[in-house]
Structure 1
Amino acid sequence: MKLDRKNLQKLYRYAYTLTADEDDAYDLLQSAIETSLNKPADRTATSTAYIRTIMKNRYIDEYRHQQSFPQENIDDHAPVSLGESSLENVVIASHDLALLWKTLEPLDREVLFFWAVEGFSMQEIADKLEVSRGTLLSRIHRLRRRLQAEAGVEQRGIA
């Protein structure tokens, strides 16, 4: 079988049916034809049925890949604008965080790191640090109250 214009149009229409996009249909058709031409020369390698099967399988593979690894279009998001005041707030907040971080005990810093950065649950942190979950929860409660008190003092000092 020869890949003439008529057969290519049929294959393109099939690819367009699968993808519902002109560019994706052309890409799918091209990759299927390329795959069939790289096969050993026999009648099945150039038959339209074989190329349609390649297109269908490739489309299913790409669909599954997109479902597993969705792409986020950057253009869809509004640009982040940092004015002088918001940039100032970011700098002040990072400075305050650095000061508070220095006042923490090493175990408190480790717990906060595992929870906030690594995303571990309290039970996972308790297992890692070899302490009971209850001890860890009470430590977090005392730490939270202390940090809120220190942050409250700093905020009252600014106002």
Structure 2
Amino acid sequence: MATAGTQIDALTISMTSTTPLAGFAELYERHYEAVFRAALRVTGNPADAEDVLQTVFLRVLARGGDVEDVALPAAYFRRAAVNAAVDVLRRRELHAESEYDDGAPHAAVQPPGLLKERLRRAIAALDSDDASLFLLRHVEGLSIEELAGMFQLEKNNVTVRLHRIRHRLQTEMQR
């Protein structure tokens, strides 16, 4: 897992190397709004969405600012945003657990938007591919065909996986 320091080092290396980054600004301008919106829908927090935006584009910069080998850049950026947003949710969950991990019983905290937060936690508990598949379908509105191409699965497999994911989320939400 790359830390902020290694991401900055990669950024420095790629900016000082002879690798051309001329198309990066155009790539950023074309996709930053979609990345931010996808991240905001998943995290529900503008600050977290900004972090996701930075993470996604730092990763692209670490690759030399080039996504030419990606067949569908828009789909690539949406999936990268959802994956990074799920990572943010997982870190948030770990942080919340560690705050209350002193062994003493605590009263249940029920902030506004409890249902949304429980859903976010349930999604964060899924493995990355399942979380991405669910969010890209139900939050980003991608079609079964688009998901099949993106995940390199048959359409029937996508449908079955989505059904199983929804069932797991329902079970988790009823706990």
Query: Would you call these one fold, judging by a TM-score over 0.5?
Result: no
Give the alignment's TM-score, normalised by structure 2: 0.34
> In terms of Rg, which structure is larger?
1
